Chain A
Amino acid sequence: MMEKPFDPAAFVEGAAPLLKIALTPESRAGAILHLTIAAEQADLLMSADLGDEDEPAPVFRP
């Protein structure tokens, strides 16, 4: 099955009501731009070879 390309505009439009954030034309455009940059960064991060047993950095100490 072909992977569907990411549509940042649709994502922002759909997520804003979930987060109860009101968008304006200006903030919508800015959020789309920054979501696109974040997705590029995430492509790099998510390709890191980490396993199930790798612990996250902060360890809670009771």
Chain B
Amino acid sequence: MTPLLDRPAHAIATAVRDGVASAVEVTRAALGRIEARDGAYGAFTDVVAERALGKAAAVDAARARGERMGPLAGAPFAVKNLFDVKGLPTRAGSKINRELTPAAADATLVARLEHAGAVLVGALNMGEYAYDFTGQNAHDGPSRNPHALAHMTGGSSGGSGAAVSGGLVPIALGSDTNGSIRVPSAFCGVFGLKPTYGRLSRARTFPFVASLDHVGPFARSVADLALAYDAMIGRDEDDPAQADVAPIPAALGLEDGIAGLRIARLGGYFARSGELCAFEAVDRVAAALKVGRTVDLPDAARARAAAYLITMIEGAALHLERLQTRVEDFDPDVRDRLIAGAMLPGAWLVQAQKFRRFFRAQALALFDDVDILLAPATPCRAPKLGQNTFTLDGKEQLVRPNIGVFTQPLSFIGLPVVAVPVWTDGEALPMGVQIVAPPWREDLALRVARVLERTGVVAAPVAHFA
């Protein structure tokens, strides 16, 4: 019989609601599995066992009193360590921030998942200050890909990808500025949702690039993504960047299928500068959805350039004082990009933001004629840990800044994306495909992902633990 922890969060919640398992038993099992496996995965930086067992006991007590149970009752989850967790310093992958005063309150999204009955078990490893696509960390060590331990998880939400694919938790939260949910989802073979910019509250998360930062969930099932998303939507006065747009819950219509949806794959920029396996993964998804149409999103390379420069400049501005006073305490790979970013002309930032508005209009015009776009998530499978370069378009390029070539143009204009994992026989590591929807239509992207999951084209199995 499949261990409960290998099952999705909604199945765990059903078992807890039905009295088949207690939340305390599930939490103990999760804590035990973290203890047994995380030495290999490097996913967790903090485990909050006492808090988790207390919350689980409260869930069980609520059930005993006959109270209504939340949709995620008793399901363990963990969060990238840039989310505030009451009592922990929010390290954001850095050495410097761990000297901060412990957080006085949880991030809004942590509180909302717990309100839905989920049980926080800890905080997760990440690339320093989220400026990372690899999942490596100079201070805490790398997170390791549970499907092939010598390979990267992707980043910067590397611990989130590892914790979910390794079966330590069924749901994790991460952040995505240029691809940091979608890249680790693709490399680790799990589902990830980067919602529309301004959709989910960023309150009490450590920022990176205010213009581009998003937060969202990882899971091994599309239904879990939808349930987590629904639990987290809603206005939050503590987040000034949140948009005042009524959210569309996703779980209720998740099984509605794709009849009537106009789906196309992105060509041009999104059909070059990657290894063959990246495009074969899109082929398989397109074939399963009977998609024959290809459309172009013009100027995607320029969009990526603009996102790249906004990231450098805003990221450097955020960290300038630390660069002046604590430069020796940064991860060198992050430090040098931030130093260069601090030196870039202001005119480049203004041009990038002007171009952002132009590019947004291009994308919205495309969505007049199509409902869903398909694109590769990454140009390659997960590289090996420590690998610094790879070959793209016949040219040797740096791994770290280039893993996000396909994710950056889309987050640049805040489009909602579900990353889905595609497996090939004989390959230990998956590829990811991005399912891209118009702004505020996370529900559509999740519906398409669910169709693919139901037909078996995409899947997120728990990695085998040797």
Enumerate A22-62 residues with CB–CB distance to B below 8 Å: 22-23, 26-27, 29-35, 37-38, 41-42, 44-48, 50, 54-58
Chain A proximity of B340: nearest CB distance (Å): 4
> Is B457 interfacial (CB 8 A cutoff)?
no
Contact of B351 among A30, A32, A46 (CB under 8 A): A46
B357 touches A31 (CB 8 A): no
> Is A15 interfacial (CB 8 A cutoff)?
yes
Q: Which residue of A lies closest to B305 (CB)?
A: A41
| Interface band, chain B | 35 or more
Contact of A31 among B333, B340, B354 (CB under 8 A): B340
Note all chain B residues with C-beta closer than 8 A to A41: 304-305, 308-309
Enumerate B324-362 residues with CB–CB distance to A below 8 Å: 324, 327, 332-333, 335-337, 339-345, 347-348, 350-358, 360
> Is B302 interfacial (CB 8 A cutoff)?
yes
A45 touches B305 (CB 8 A): yes
Tell me the complex Cα distance, A42–B347, Å. 10
> Is A20 interfacial (CB 8 A cutoff)?
yes
Chain A proximity of B347: nearest CB distance (Å): 8
Chain B proximity of A6: nearest CB distance (Å): 12
A34 touches B340 (CB 8 A): yes
With A45-B348, A50-B358 as known contacts, state yes or no: A26 contacts B339, CB within 8 Å. no
Contact of B301 among A11, A19, A27, A44 (CB under 8 A): A44
Q: Which residue of A lies closest to B335 (CB)?
A: A27
Contact of A34 among B306, B337, B347 (CB under 8 A): B337
Tell me the complex Cα distance, A22–B323, Å. 8
Q: Is the interface of B mostly helix, strand, loop or mixed?
A: helix
Note all chain B residues with C-beta closer than 8 A to A44: 301-302, 305
Q: How many residues of A contact B (CB 8 A)?
A: 33
A50 touches B354 (CB 8 A): yes
Tell me the complex Cα distance, A22–B333, Å. 16
Contact of B299 among A34, A48, A54 (CB under 8 A): A48
Contact of B339 among A21, A45, A55 (CB under 8 A): A21
> Is B401 interfacial (CB 8 A cutoff)?
yes
A42 touches B355 (CB 8 A): no
A38 touches B351 (CB 8 A): no
> Is B312 interfacial (CB 8 A cutoff)?
yes
Contact of A27 among B336, B352, B360, B401 (CB under 8 A): B336
B312 touches A38 (CB 8 A): yes
Note all chain B residues with C-beta closer than 8 A to A38: 308-309, 312, 340-341, 344, 348
With A41-B309, A55-B357 as known contacts, state yes or no: A46 contacts B323, CB within 8 Å. no
Tell me the complex Cα distance, A15–B358, Å. 31
B348 touches A31 (CB 8 A): no
A31 touches B336 (CB 8 A): yes
With A19-B343, A30-B339 as known contacts, state yes or no: A45 contacts B327, CB within 8 Å. no
With A20-B324, A41-B305, A48-B302 as known contacts, state yes or no: A27 contacts B356, CB within 8 Å. no
Contact of A33 among B336, B341, B347, B357 (CB under 8 A): B336
Note all chain B residues with C-beta closer than 8 A to A20: 324
Contact of B357 among A23, A26, A42, A56 (CB under 8 A): A56
A54 touches B354 (CB 8 A): yes
Chain A proximity of B277: nearest CB distance (Å): 26
Q: Which residue of B lies closest to A59 (CB)?
A: B357
Would you list the 5 A-B pairs with minimal beta carbon distance, nearest first? A30-B336, A56-B353, A34-B340, A57-B356, A41-B305
Besides A30-B337, A56-B357, A57-B356, 18 other CB < 8 A contacts? A11-B343, A16-B343, A19-B342, A19-B343, A27-B335, A29-B336, A31-B340, A33-B336, A34-B340, A35-B340, A38-B312, A41-B308, A41-B309, A44-B302, A45-B305, A50-B354, A54-B358, A55-B357
List 21 contacting pairs A-B, 8 Å CB cutoff, sorted by A: A15-B343, A19-B324, A20-B324, A21-B342, A23-B339, A27-B335, A30-B339, A30-B340, A34-B337, A37-B398, A38-B344, A38-B348, A41-B308, A44-B305, A45-B302, A50-B354, A55-B354, A56-B353, A56-B357, A57-B211, A57-B357
